[in-house]
Amino acid sequence: GAHWDSRNVAEKDTENQSSPIPGANDGGSGVAVLLELARVLYAYKDELDCQVWFLYIDAEDQGYSRGMYGLEGWYWSEGSLAFVAELDNYYNSSVELFECFILLDMVGGSNLQFIKEFRSDEALHDSIFDEGVKLGYYEAFPSRPKVMAITDDHVAFDNYGISVIDLIIDFVEGDWTYHHTHSDDLSNIDIESLLITGLTLESFMKTYYTLNQNKDWRNTDLPISVYLSITVGSLFLVGLLVNLILRKKLRTKSTN
């Protein structure tokens, strides 16, 4: 899912604060990736062993910030709250499983580096991050991401009981500094970041949701980052033991 509305005011800008922002990243980037991902997945739809819903959500970005509402009296993520309130009308929860909700928000800025939103399901987070690492996107999917709590469209799905992840950057203290300003336009979009996000999600789908795969991200082995930590730690311990044994032998020789 991704929200397609953009902020109706620019409260973080120094000029024209009462005018809407372009929203190229904050809204537009996630929508762009989902549209392309839909095209890509359709090419091998017969190989998928699940339904894939693409949700384009309205009314996410109009809440209260720095003394200003986007729309007077509105809260954040109104669209996802309304959708989840009607979710039981769209599928039969007694025979169908709504397995996870993946949210893309602000995925198009330069120097892409995702955080870990604290509501994100641990196994889902690790599985998607490991796909990114497997593709070589180490900076975008760090082994120790910053943890933040963000009010976003995934919250309503999490409260419903669905495993969620919010793929989002640190827009407060991170490198992308155009949040809720008029500079959130196409000149500050990096196509490489869009590719990283889309290719990682495509890889995730191929790994866990195609007919020739029997993997389940809810029951995965340890993530790559943990394997690396264990390997490095094990090598350190082996080296330490060898060093201690050699020292003991040398001391024994010297006493003899």
Query: Per the structure block, which two tokens stand in for 233?
Result: 């730690």
Which CATH code of 3.30.470.10, 3.40.630.10, 3.40.50.2300, 3.30.365.10 fits the domain covering 2-220?
3.40.630.10
How far is residue 113's CA from residue 168's CA, in Å, rounded to a whole number? 8
HEC letters along 84-147: HHCHHHCCCCCCCCCCEEEEEECCCCCCCCECEECCCCHHHHHHHHHHHHHCCCCCCCCCCCCE
Average pLDDT over residues 161-174: 96
Total-model pTM: 0.84
- The pLDDT confidence band at residue 97, using thresholds 50, 70 and 90, is confident
**What rounded mean pLDDT belongs to the chain?**
88
Share of the chain above pLDDT 70, in %: 86
Q: For 131-147, how does the pLDDT look when each residue is reduced to its tens digit (9 = 90+)?
A: 999 999 999 999 999 99
